[in-house]
C-alpha cells in the first residue's frame, strides 16, 4: 500500500457527494477513503486506552497465539480491517503469527506494513470457506452495519477458527446516552433530552436497515448467541461507558484521554454520516442543521453524553463445522 487516494474511476469504489465508498456492498454506511481511515485510527487509539491494549481477554488471546502451545505457526484474521491499524499492530505484537486484514477495499493509507501482515479484499457476508481452519484469532470491530445477519456471521466465522481459537467482537451500542446513562434514541427534536448527535445516529441506523443491514442493537445479544452455539465455549463479555469529551468530574489521565479521543472520533464521523443519508432521501438542509448542532454539542459538551462500547469473546470448540 503506498497511500494512494482512491477514486471513482476504480470499479471497486463509488463516489457519493465527494466521499469514496466500497461499491460492492451497498448496505455499509461509511466511506472507505483516507479521511474515514484517519477517523478509525482515532477510534483505535481510544479503544486501546479503554481495553489496555489491542484486545480484551488477553489470557485467551495470548494462549491462542503461543506457537509453542499451539505447535504450529499461528494466524490472525481481522474482518473489516478498515485502516489496517489493528492488523498491523497485532503483527508487530505477534511477529511469529501471520496476520490477514480483510475488508471490502484495501486500506488506502496503510504504510510500513509488517512482513507478517497482508491485506485481502473480501466480504464477511459471503462464503469464508477459503479461510477454513486457518486462524487462531478472529477480530471483528465496528462492522455491524455491514453485516446482513450477524448471528449467521458468528456461525460462519467458526469455520475459520482452529479449536481453542478466539473470536473477538467489539462495537458501540446503537444509542448515545445522557449523563444519567439513559438512552436518547428516537427522541423528538426540541425536547430537553433530544441530541442532534443521536438524531444523526438514528437516521443512519434506519438508513442501514432499509438497505438490508443488521440492527446494531444486537451487540447486547452477542454473548448469548455465542453461548447458544456448540461451536463456542468460554464466552465472556464486558462494556465500557465512555464520556464524549472530558466532562465528567474525577476522571484520571487515561479516562480523560479516552474521552477526548472519543469526542474527536465523533466530530470526524459527522461528515461520514452525510453522503449516504442524502443519497437515501434525507433533506440536505436537515442533515446540515443536525450536523452543525452535533458539532456544537460535542464542542460545548452540552448535553453531557456517553457512548457504551460492547466487547464479547469466546473460544472455538472441537465441534465440526457445517453450513446452516
Q: What is the mean pLDDT of each run of 10 residues along the chain (324 residues)?
A: 42 79 74 90 98 97 92 94 96 97 81 93 91 98 88 97 98 94 90 92 86 75 97 98 98 98 97 87 95 98 97 98 94
**What residues does 161 pair with on adjacent strands?**
135
3-state secondary structure of 92: helix
Quote the cell numbers at residue 109: 493509507
Question: Contact, 159 vs 305, CB < 8 A?
Answer: no
- Strands of 117-121's sheet in order across: 117-121, 98-103, 75-79, 135-141, 161-177, 306-316, 232-243
Distances (CA, A) of 202 to 142, 152, 197, 222: 16, 24, 9, 21
Residue reference for cell 452525510: 274
Quote the cell numbers at residue 218: 444486537
Position 8 scores a pLDDT of: 42
Rounded to an integer, what distance in angstroms lies between the CA atom of residue 280 and that of residue 210? 9
Residue 12 per-residue DSSP state: T
3-state secondary structure of 257: helix
Position 108 scores a pLDDT of: 64
Q: Which contiguous run of DSSP H or E holds residue 33? A: none
E strand segments, the chain: 13-16, 19-22, 75-79, 98-103, 117-121, 135-141, 161-177, 232-243, 306-316
Q: Cα 26 to chain center, whole Å?
A: 17
Position 216 scores a pLDDT of: 66
Position 10 scores a pLDDT of: 66
- CA angle, residues 305, 268, 260, in degrees to nearest 5: 50
Rounded to an integer, what distance in angstroms lies between the CA atom of residue 180 and that of residue 197? 17
The answer for residues whose C-beta is within 8 angstroms of residue 147's C-beta and 6 or more apart is 124, 125, 153, 213, 214
3-state secondary structure of 315: strand
Position 270 scores a pLDDT of: 95
Position 195 scores a pLDDT of: 96
Position 4 scores a pLDDT of: 32
Rounded to an integer, what distance in angstroms lies between the CA atom of residue 299 and that of residue 291? 12
**What residues does 167 pair with on adjacent strands?**
138, 314
Amino acid at each position: 500500500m503506498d497511500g494512494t487516494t482512491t477514486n471513482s474511476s476504480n470499479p471497486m469504489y463509488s463516489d457519493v457527494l465527494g466521499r469514496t465508498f466500497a461499491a460492492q456492498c451497498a448496505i455499509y454506511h461509511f466511506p472507505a477513503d483516507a479521511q474515514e481511515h484517519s477517523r478509525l485510527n482515532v477510534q483505535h487509539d481510544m479503544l486501546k486506552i479503554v481495553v489496555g491494549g489491542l484486545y480484551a481477554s488477553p489470557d485467551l488471546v495470548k494462549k491462542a497465539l503461543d506457537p509453542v502451545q499451539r505447535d504450529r505457526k499461528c494466524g490472525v484474521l481481522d474482518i473489516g480491517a478498515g485502516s489496517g491499524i489493528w492488523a498491523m499492530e497485532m503483527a508487530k505484537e505477534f511477529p511469529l503469527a501471520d496476520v490477514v486484514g480483510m475488508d471490502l477495499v484495501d486500506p488506502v493509507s496503510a504504510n510500513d506494513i509488517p512482513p507478517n501482515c497482508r491485506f485481502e479484499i473480501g466480504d464477511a457476508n459471503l462464503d469464508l470457506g477459503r479461510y477454513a481452519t486457518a486462524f487462531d484469532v478472529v477480530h471483528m470491530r465496528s462492522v455491524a452495519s455491514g453485516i446482513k445477519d450477524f448471528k449467521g456471521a458468528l456461525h460462519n466465522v467458526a469455520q475459520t477458527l482452529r479449536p481453542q481459537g478466539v473470536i473477538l467482537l467489539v462495537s458501540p451500542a446503537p444509542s448515545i446516552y445522557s449523563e444519567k446513562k439513559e438512552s436518547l434514541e428516537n427522541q423528538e427534536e426540541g425536547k430537553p433530552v433530544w441530541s442532534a448527535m443521536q438524531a444523526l445516529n438514528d437516521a443512519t441506523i434506519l438508513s442501514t436497515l432499509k438497505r438490508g443491514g443488521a440492527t446494531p442493537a444486537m451487540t447486547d445479544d452477542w454473548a448469548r448467541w455465542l453461548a447458544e452455539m456448540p461451536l463456542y465455549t468460554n464466552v465472556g463479555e464486558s462494556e465500557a461507558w465512555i464520556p464524549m469529551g472530558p466532562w465528567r468530574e474525577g476522571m484520571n489521565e487515561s479516562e480523560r484521554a479516552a474521552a477526548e479521543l472519543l469526542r474527536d472520533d465523533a466530530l470526524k464521523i459527522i461528515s461520514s454520516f452525510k453522503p449516504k443519508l442524502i443519497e437515501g432521501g434525507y433533506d440536505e438542509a436537515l442533515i446540515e442543521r443536525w450536523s452543525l448542532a452535533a458539532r456544537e454539542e460535542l464542542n460545548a459538551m452540552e448535553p453531557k453524553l456517553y457512548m457504551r462500547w460492547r466487547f464479547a469473546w469466546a473460544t472455538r470448540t472441537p465441534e465440526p463445522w457445517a453450513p446452516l
